[in-house]
Structure 1
Amino acid sequence: MSFFQNTCKPKGLGGSLMVNMMNIGHSPMAEWGLKHIKINKNDISLDVGCGGGANIKKLLEKSPKGKVFGIDYSEVSVRKSKKVNKFAVERKHCEILQGNVQELPFANETFDLATAFETIYFWSDIDQSFSQIYRVLKKGGIFMVCNESNGENDKDKKWTEIIKGMKIYTSKEIKYSLEKAGFTHIETNKNAKGWLCVVARK
Protein backbone atom coordinates (compact mmCIF):
# COMPACT_ATOMS: atom_id res chain seq x y z
CA MET A 1 0.00 0.00 0.00
CA SER A 2 1.35 3.44 -0.90
CA PHE A 3 1.85 6.00 1.85
CA PHE A 4 -0.85 8.28 0.42
CA GLN A 5 -3.37 5.43 0.52
CA ASN A 6 -3.35 6.05 4.28
CA THR A 7 -5.46 9.15 3.68
CA CYS A 8 -8.29 6.75 2.87
CA LYS A 9 -7.98 4.36 5.83
CA PRO A 10 -4.87 4.86 7.95
CA LYS A 11 -3.15 1.62 8.92
CA GLY A 12 0.07 0.73 10.76
CA LEU A 13 3.04 3.05 11.15
CA GLY A 14 2.33 4.85 7.88
CA GLY A 15 -1.22 5.48 9.03
CA SER A 16 -0.02 6.86 12.36
CA LEU A 17 2.29 9.27 10.53
CA MET A 18 -0.55 10.27 8.19
CA VAL A 19 -3.04 11.16 10.95
CA ASN A 20 -0.38 13.28 12.63
CA MET A 21 0.23 15.09 9.34
CA MET A 22 -3.50 15.57 8.72
CA ASN A 23 -4.05 17.04 12.18
CA ILE A 24 -1.52 19.75 11.39
CA GLY A 25 -2.01 20.20 7.66
CA HIS A 26 -5.81 20.42 7.64
CA SER A 27 -6.10 22.83 10.57
CA PRO A 28 -6.27 26.09 8.55
CA MET A 29 -9.01 24.66 6.31
CA ALA A 30 -10.98 23.44 9.33
CA GLU A 31 -10.75 26.85 11.01
CA TRP A 32 -12.01 28.46 7.79
CA GLY A 33 -14.89 26.01 7.53
CA LEU A 34 -15.99 26.46 11.13
CA LYS A 35 -16.45 30.19 10.51
CA HIS A 36 -19.47 29.32 8.37
CA ILE A 37 -21.51 27.76 11.18
CA LYS A 38 -22.69 28.77 14.62
CA ILE A 39 -21.87 26.34 17.42
CA ASN A 40 -23.68 26.71 20.73
CA LYS A 41 -22.07 26.03 24.12
CA ASN A 42 -24.38 23.10 24.87
CA ASP A 43 -24.51 21.50 21.39
CA ILE A 44 -24.15 17.77 20.94
CA SER A 45 -21.93 17.32 17.89
CA LEU A 46 -20.69 14.48 15.70
CA ASP A 47 -17.48 14.56 13.66
CA VAL A 48 -17.79 11.89 10.97
CA GLY A 49 -14.49 10.49 9.72
CA CYS A 50 -12.77 12.13 12.66
CA GLY A 51 -9.23 11.15 11.61
CA GLY A 52 -6.65 12.20 14.18
CA GLY A 53 -9.13 14.05 16.38
CA ALA A 54 -7.93 17.63 15.87
CA ASN A 55 -11.36 18.82 14.78
CA ILE A 56 -13.04 17.08 17.70
CA LYS A 57 -10.81 19.20 19.90
CA LYS A 58 -11.93 22.36 18.08
CA LEU A 59 -15.59 21.40 18.52
CA LEU A 60 -15.03 20.69 22.23
CA GLU A 61 -13.61 24.18 22.70
CA LYS A 62 -16.71 25.70 21.12
CA SER A 63 -19.24 23.63 23.10
CA PRO A 64 -17.89 23.45 26.68
CA LYS A 65 -21.29 22.51 28.09
CA GLY A 66 -22.17 20.03 25.36
CA LYS A 67 -20.65 16.79 24.13
CA VAL A 68 -18.72 15.77 21.03
CA PHE A 69 -18.75 12.34 19.42
CA GLY A 70 -16.30 11.16 16.80
CA ILE A 71 -16.51 8.15 14.51
CA ASP A 72 -14.00 6.69 12.07
CA TYR A 73 -13.58 3.28 10.44
CA SER A 74 -9.82 3.31 10.97
CA GLU A 75 -8.54 1.79 14.21
CA VAL A 76 -5.43 3.99 13.95
CA SER A 77 -7.56 7.14 13.66
CA VAL A 78 -9.76 6.20 16.60
CA ARG A 79 -6.73 5.51 18.78
CA LYS A 80 -5.14 8.86 17.86
CA SER A 81 -8.40 10.77 18.37
CA LYS A 82 -8.78 9.30 21.85
CA LYS A 83 -5.20 10.27 22.69
CA VAL A 84 -5.59 13.85 21.42
CA ASN A 85 -8.83 14.27 23.39
CA LYS A 86 -7.89 12.12 26.39
CA PHE A 87 -9.00 14.57 29.07
CA ALA A 88 -12.42 15.16 27.45
CA VAL A 89 -12.94 11.41 26.98
CA GLU A 90 -12.15 10.78 30.64
CA ARG A 91 -14.64 13.49 31.68
CA LYS A 92 -17.35 11.90 29.48
CA HIS A 93 -17.43 15.12 27.47
CA CYS A 94 -16.29 13.23 24.38
CA GLU A 95 -16.85 9.75 22.96
CA ILE A 96 -14.97 8.28 20.00
CA LEU A 97 -16.12 5.13 18.23
CA GLN A 98 -14.93 2.91 15.40
CA GLY A 99 -17.67 2.48 12.81
CA ASN A 100 -18.96 3.18 9.32
CA VAL A 101 -20.84 6.30 8.23
CA GLN A 102 -23.25 4.13 6.24
CA GLU A 103 -24.47 2.51 9.47
CA LEU A 104 -24.13 5.12 12.20
CA PRO A 105 -24.59 3.56 15.66
CA PHE A 106 -26.69 6.41 17.03
CA ALA A 107 -30.39 6.93 17.68
CA ASN A 108 -32.53 9.17 15.50
CA GLU A 109 -32.32 12.90 16.18
CA THR A 110 -29.34 12.74 18.55
CA PHE A 111 -27.15 15.60 17.31
CA ASP A 112 -27.39 19.37 16.89
CA LEU A 113 -24.43 19.42 14.51
CA ALA A 114 -22.53 17.00 12.27
CA THR A 115 -19.26 17.76 10.50
CA ALA A 116 -17.25 15.98 7.82
CA PHE A 117 -13.76 17.35 7.17
CA GLU A 118 -11.75 15.93 4.26
CA THR A 119 -13.55 12.59 4.41
CA ILE A 120 -16.49 12.27 2.00
CA TYR A 121 -13.96 11.48 -0.76
CA PHE A 122 -13.69 7.97 0.68
CA TRP A 123 -17.34 7.16 1.40
CA SER A 124 -18.40 4.31 -0.88
CA ASP A 125 -22.05 5.41 -0.95
CA ILE A 126 -22.45 9.14 -0.39
CA ASP A 127 -26.25 9.05 -0.68
CA GLN A 128 -26.58 6.40 2.04
CA SER A 129 -24.07 8.24 4.19
CA PHE A 130 -25.89 11.56 3.91
CA SER A 131 -29.17 9.81 4.71
CA GLN A 132 -27.63 8.36 7.87
CA ILE A 133 -26.38 11.77 8.95
CA TYR A 134 -29.80 13.26 8.26
CA ARG A 135 -31.36 10.56 10.44
CA VAL A 136 -29.19 11.21 13.48
CA LEU A 137 -29.52 15.00 13.33
CA LYS A 138 -32.20 16.77 15.32
CA LYS A 139 -34.79 18.79 13.42
CA GLY A 140 -33.11 22.07 12.56
CA GLY A 141 -29.68 20.45 12.97
CA ILE A 142 -26.72 21.50 10.84
CA PHE A 143 -24.45 19.36 8.65
CA MET A 144 -21.20 20.83 7.32
CA VAL A 145 -18.93 19.28 4.68
CA CYS A 146 -15.50 20.87 4.38
CA ASN A 147 -12.96 19.84 1.71
CA GLU A 148 -9.64 21.15 0.45
CA SER A 149 -10.55 19.96 -3.06
CA ASN A 150 -13.63 21.06 -4.98
CA GLY A 151 -13.36 18.84 -8.07
CA GLU A 152 -12.92 21.77 -10.43
CA ASN A 153 -9.20 21.66 -11.27
CA ASP A 154 -6.63 19.29 -12.75
CA LYS A 155 -4.69 18.68 -9.51
CA ASP A 156 -7.81 17.05 -8.02
CA LYS A 157 -7.78 14.42 -10.76
CA LYS A 158 -4.15 13.64 -9.95
CA TRP A 159 -5.06 12.69 -6.38
CA THR A 160 -7.83 10.35 -7.48
CA GLU A 161 -5.27 8.54 -9.63
CA ILE A 162 -2.83 8.20 -6.71
CA ILE A 163 -5.35 7.18 -4.04
CA LYS A 164 -7.48 4.14 -4.85
CA GLY A 165 -11.17 4.58 -4.10
CA MET A 166 -11.02 8.37 -3.80
CA LYS A 167 -13.68 10.51 -5.45
CA ILE A 168 -13.68 14.30 -5.34
CA TYR A 169 -17.14 15.83 -5.51
CA THR A 170 -18.10 19.21 -6.93
CA SER A 171 -20.35 21.52 -4.94
CA LYS A 172 -23.24 20.69 -7.30
CA GLU A 173 -22.83 16.95 -6.70
CA ILE A 174 -22.74 17.44 -2.95
CA LYS A 175 -25.81 19.68 -3.05
CA TYR A 176 -27.71 17.13 -5.12
CA SER A 177 -26.96 14.29 -2.68
CA LEU A 178 -27.84 16.47 0.30
CA GLU A 179 -31.19 17.33 -1.24
CA LYS A 180 -31.87 13.65 -1.95
CA ALA A 181 -31.29 12.94 1.74
CA GLY A 182 -33.78 15.65 2.72
CA PHE A 183 -31.52 18.56 3.62
CA THR A 184 -32.57 22.15 2.89
CA HIS A 185 -31.11 25.66 3.13
CA ILE A 186 -27.90 24.49 1.47
CA GLU A 187 -25.15 27.11 1.31
CA THR A 188 -21.89 26.72 -0.61
CA ASN A 189 -18.71 28.64 0.15
CA LYS A 190 -15.41 28.57 -1.75
CA ASN A 191 -12.16 30.48 -1.47
CA ALA A 192 -9.20 31.31 -3.69
CA LYS A 193 -7.33 28.19 -2.49
CA GLY A 194 -10.06 25.95 -3.87
CA TRP A 195 -11.40 24.99 -0.44
CA LEU A 196 -15.07 24.07 -0.32
CA CYS A 197 -17.52 24.34 2.58
CA VAL A 198 -21.13 23.23 2.18
CA VAL A 199 -23.60 23.81 5.03
CA ALA A 200 -27.08 22.26 5.10
CA ARG A 201 -29.97 22.12 7.55
CA LYS A 202 -32.38 19.31 8.45
Structure 2
Amino acid sequence: MRDILFGHPAGLLGRLGGRIMARQNQPLYTWTLSLLPVQTSDHVLEVGFGSGEAIHLLTKQTQAALIAGVDASPAMLSMAKKRNAAALLSGRVQLEQGSAEQLPFADDTFHKAFAINSVQLWSDRKAAIRELYRVLRPDGMLALTLQPHNAKTDQDFKAIGEQLLFDLTQIGFFNTELQIKEHTPTNILCALGRK
Protein backbone atom coordinates (compact mmCIF):
# COMPACT_ATOMS: atom_id res chain seq x y z
CA MET A 1 0.00 0.00 0.00
CA ARG A 2 2.87 2.41 0.81
CA ASP A 3 4.14 1.99 -2.77
CA ILE A 4 0.75 2.99 -4.24
CA LEU A 5 0.52 5.97 -1.88
CA PHE A 6 4.07 7.31 -2.26
CA GLY A 7 6.44 5.19 -4.37
CA HIS A 8 4.38 4.78 -7.54
CA PRO A 9 1.16 6.72 -6.86
CA ALA A 10 -1.89 5.39 -8.69
CA GLY A 11 -5.64 5.86 -8.47
CA LEU A 12 -7.47 7.31 -5.49
CA LEU A 13 -4.78 6.22 -3.03
CA GLY A 14 -2.13 7.79 -5.25
CA ARG A 15 -3.96 11.13 -5.23
CA LEU A 16 -4.22 10.92 -1.43
CA GLY A 17 -0.49 10.17 -1.28
CA GLY A 18 0.17 13.18 -3.51
CA ARG A 19 -1.69 15.47 -1.12
CA ILE A 20 0.22 14.06 1.86
CA MET A 21 3.57 14.42 0.05
CA ALA A 22 2.80 18.02 -0.97
CA ARG A 23 2.20 18.96 2.67
CA GLN A 24 5.10 16.97 4.15
CA ASN A 25 7.61 18.02 1.50
CA GLN A 26 6.86 21.76 1.75
CA PRO A 27 10.07 22.50 3.74
CA LEU A 28 12.08 20.52 1.17
CA TYR A 29 10.58 22.50 -1.73
CA THR A 30 11.28 25.86 -0.11
CA TRP A 31 14.83 24.94 0.90
CA THR A 32 15.79 23.37 -2.43
CA LEU A 33 14.50 26.34 -4.43
CA SER A 34 16.50 28.67 -2.15
CA LEU A 35 19.66 26.79 -3.20
CA LEU A 36 18.96 27.29 -6.93
CA PRO A 37 19.42 30.91 -8.01
CA VAL A 38 16.77 30.94 -10.76
CA GLN A 39 17.11 33.84 -13.20
CA THR A 40 14.46 35.44 -15.41
CA SER A 41 15.56 33.74 -18.64
CA ASP A 42 16.20 30.31 -17.06
CA HIS A 43 14.67 27.03 -18.18
CA VAL A 44 14.18 24.83 -15.10
CA LEU A 45 13.41 21.10 -14.84
CA GLU A 46 12.00 19.09 -11.96
CA VAL A 47 12.26 15.30 -12.09
CA GLY A 48 9.60 13.54 -10.03
CA PHE A 49 7.30 16.54 -9.57
CA GLY A 50 4.60 14.62 -7.66
CA SER A 51 1.55 16.82 -7.21
CA GLY A 52 3.34 19.79 -8.79
CA GLU A 53 3.75 21.90 -5.66
CA ALA A 54 7.42 22.86 -6.22
CA ILE A 55 6.64 23.83 -9.82
CA HIS A 56 3.75 25.94 -8.57
CA LEU A 57 6.07 27.66 -6.08
CA LEU A 58 8.58 28.36 -8.85
CA THR A 59 5.90 30.03 -10.98
CA LYS A 60 4.99 32.28 -8.05
CA GLN A 61 8.51 33.06 -6.76
CA THR A 62 10.49 33.44 -10.00
CA GLN A 63 10.25 34.77 -13.51
CA ALA A 64 11.82 31.65 -15.06
CA ALA A 65 11.07 31.52 -18.78
CA LEU A 66 10.17 27.80 -18.75
CA ILE A 67 9.47 25.40 -15.90
CA ALA A 68 9.26 21.79 -17.03
CA GLY A 69 8.69 18.58 -15.18
CA VAL A 70 8.61 14.84 -15.69
CA ASP A 71 7.00 12.23 -13.45
CA ALA A 72 6.35 8.52 -13.97
CA SER A 73 2.90 8.53 -12.34
CA PRO A 74 -0.23 9.35 -14.39
CA ALA A 75 -2.03 10.20 -11.11
CA MET A 76 0.65 12.77 -10.20
CA LEU A 77 0.64 14.19 -13.74
CA SER A 78 -3.11 14.76 -13.44
CA MET A 79 -2.76 16.45 -10.01
CA ALA A 80 0.15 18.62 -11.16
CA LYS A 81 -1.75 19.74 -14.27
CA LYS A 82 -4.69 20.86 -12.11
CA ARG A 83 -2.41 22.69 -9.67
CA ASN A 84 -0.54 24.46 -12.50
CA ALA A 85 -3.43 24.91 -14.97
CA ALA A 86 -2.94 28.65 -15.57
CA ALA A 87 0.82 28.34 -16.10
CA LEU A 88 0.28 25.41 -18.48
CA LEU A 89 -2.17 27.48 -20.53
CA SER A 90 0.31 30.35 -20.73
CA GLY A 91 3.02 27.97 -21.97
CA ARG A 92 5.33 28.79 -19.08
CA VAL A 93 4.98 25.27 -17.59
CA GLN A 94 5.38 21.98 -19.46
CA LEU A 95 4.61 18.68 -17.73
CA GLU A 96 5.39 15.23 -19.15
CA GLN A 97 4.93 11.65 -18.06
CA GLY A 98 8.19 9.73 -18.22
CA SER A 99 11.13 8.35 -16.32
CA ALA A 100 14.25 9.97 -14.92
CA GLU A 101 16.33 7.48 -16.88
CA GLN A 102 14.90 8.61 -20.25
CA LEU A 103 14.08 12.29 -20.08
CA PRO A 104 11.91 13.52 -22.98
CA PHE A 105 13.99 16.65 -23.60
CA ALA A 106 16.78 17.66 -25.99
CA ASP A 107 20.42 18.01 -24.98
CA ASP A 108 21.46 21.29 -23.30
CA THR A 109 17.88 22.46 -22.67
CA PHE A 110 17.90 23.55 -19.00
CA HIS A 111 19.84 26.03 -16.87
CA LYS A 112 18.73 24.41 -13.59
CA ALA A 113 17.37 20.99 -12.66
CA PHE A 114 16.27 19.44 -9.39
CA ALA A 115 14.65 16.40 -7.83
CA ILE A 116 13.07 16.33 -4.38
CA ASN A 117 12.56 13.00 -2.61
CA SER A 118 12.48 11.08 -5.88
CA VAL A 119 16.13 9.94 -6.17
CA GLN A 120 15.37 6.90 -4.02
CA LEU A 121 12.68 5.82 -6.51
CA TRP A 122 14.88 5.86 -9.62
CA SER A 123 15.48 2.36 -10.96
CA ASP A 124 18.99 3.34 -12.13
CA ARG A 125 20.35 6.37 -10.29
CA LYS A 126 23.49 6.74 -12.41
CA ALA A 127 21.49 6.54 -15.65
CA ALA A 128 19.15 9.24 -14.33
CA ILE A 129 22.07 11.48 -13.32
CA ARG A 130 23.58 10.98 -16.81
CA GLU A 131 20.25 12.06 -18.31
CA LEU A 132 20.17 15.15 -16.09
CA TYR A 133 23.73 15.94 -17.17
CA ARG A 134 22.68 15.56 -20.82
CA VAL A 135 19.70 17.92 -20.62
CA LEU A 136 21.53 20.60 -18.61
CA ARG A 137 23.29 23.40 -20.47
CA PRO A 138 27.01 24.00 -19.90
CA ASP A 139 27.39 25.56 -16.42
CA GLY A 140 23.89 24.31 -15.59
CA MET A 141 23.16 23.53 -11.94
CA LEU A 142 21.66 20.37 -10.42
CA ALA A 143 20.14 19.92 -6.94
CA LEU A 144 19.20 16.47 -5.65
CA THR A 145 17.31 16.77 -2.36
CA LEU A 146 16.49 13.82 -0.16
CA GLN A 147 15.12 13.20 3.30
CA PRO A 148 16.50 9.70 3.90
CA HIS A 149 14.11 8.17 6.41
CA ASN A 150 16.01 4.88 6.09
CA ALA A 151 19.18 6.43 7.59
CA LYS A 152 19.34 4.94 11.08
CA THR A 153 22.48 6.79 12.21
CA ASP A 154 24.35 9.99 11.42
CA GLN A 155 26.93 7.82 9.69
CA ASP A 156 24.23 6.32 7.42
CA PHE A 157 22.95 9.82 6.62
CA LYS A 158 26.46 11.05 5.76
CA ALA A 159 27.13 7.96 3.61
CA ILE A 160 23.99 8.61 1.54
CA GLY A 161 25.10 12.19 0.88
CA GLU A 162 28.65 11.17 0.03
CA GLN A 163 27.39 8.52 -2.40
CA LEU A 164 25.28 11.13 -4.21
CA LEU A 165 28.29 13.46 -4.49
CA PHE A 166 30.42 10.58 -5.75
CA ASP A 167 27.81 9.74 -8.40
CA LEU A 168 27.65 13.38 -9.52
CA THR A 169 31.41 13.70 -9.91
CA GLN A 170 31.66 10.33 -11.64
CA ILE A 171 29.16 11.49 -14.28
CA GLY A 172 31.06 14.76 -14.81
CA PHE A 173 29.55 17.35 -12.49
CA PHE A 174 32.00 19.72 -10.80
CA ASN A 175 31.85 22.16 -7.87
CA THR A 176 29.85 19.51 -6.05
CA GLU A 177 28.83 20.15 -2.47
CA LEU A 178 26.54 18.70 0.14
CA GLN A 179 24.14 20.94 2.04
CA ILE A 180 22.38 19.65 5.15
CA LYS A 181 19.29 21.12 6.79
CA GLU A 182 18.24 20.07 10.26
CA HIS A 183 14.65 18.89 10.28
CA THR A 184 12.40 16.45 12.12
CA PRO A 185 11.84 13.58 12.00
CA THR A 186 14.85 13.27 9.67
CA ASN A 187 17.41 15.81 8.47
CA ILE A 188 17.40 16.81 4.80
CA LEU A 189 20.36 16.71 2.45
CA CYS A 190 20.94 18.29 -0.94
CA ALA A 191 23.72 17.29 -3.33
CA LEU A 192 24.59 20.17 -5.67
CA GLY A 193 26.73 20.19 -8.79
CA ARG A 194 27.44 22.11 -11.97
CA LYS A 195 27.84 20.76 -15.49
- TM-score of the superposition, structure 2-length normalised? 0.91
Whole-Å separation in 2 of the counterparts to 1:95 and 1:146 = 21
Q: Residue type matched to 2:47 in 1?
A: V
Q: Secondary structure at the match of 1:32?
A: helix
SS of 1:20's equivalent in the other structure is: helix
Contact 1:47 1:71 in 2 (8 A): yes
Following TM superposition, by how much is the alpha carbon of 1:150 offset from its aligned partner in structure 2, in angstroms?
7.0
Unaligned runs of at least 5 residues, structure 1: 158-168
Matches of 1:50 and 1:65 in 2, distance apart?
17
Deviations 1:25-74 (A, max 9, x none): 10112212222221112210000001000001122223325110010010
1:26 aligns with 2:55: no
Q: Name the structure 2 match of 1:171.
A: 161
- What amino acid does structure 1 have at the position aligned with 2:162? K
Distance in 2 of aligned mates of 1:130 and 1:82: 25
* Cα 1:150/1:35, change in 2 over 3 Å: farther
Q: CA deviation at 1:4?
A: 4.9
Q: How does 1:16-165 map to 2 (within 5 A)?
A: 16-149=15-148, 152-153=151-152
Any idea what SS the aligned residue of 1:190 has?
Answer: strand
2:176 corresponds to: 186
Letter of the 1:183 partner, please give it.
Answer: F
Shift of 1:76: 0.3
What are structure 2's unaligned runs of at least 5 residues?
none
- Equivalent residues of 2:173, 2:193 under 8 A apart: yes
Q: Is the 8 A contact 2:69 2:94 kept in 1?
A: yes
Q: Which amino acid aligns with 1:186?
A: T
Alignment partner, residue 201 of structure 1:
194
| Alignment TM-score, normalising by the size of structure 1 | 0.88
Contact in 2 for aligned 1:150/1:170 (Cα 8 Å): no
What is the rounded CA distance, in whole Å, between the counterparts of 1:111 and 1:87 in structure 2? 22
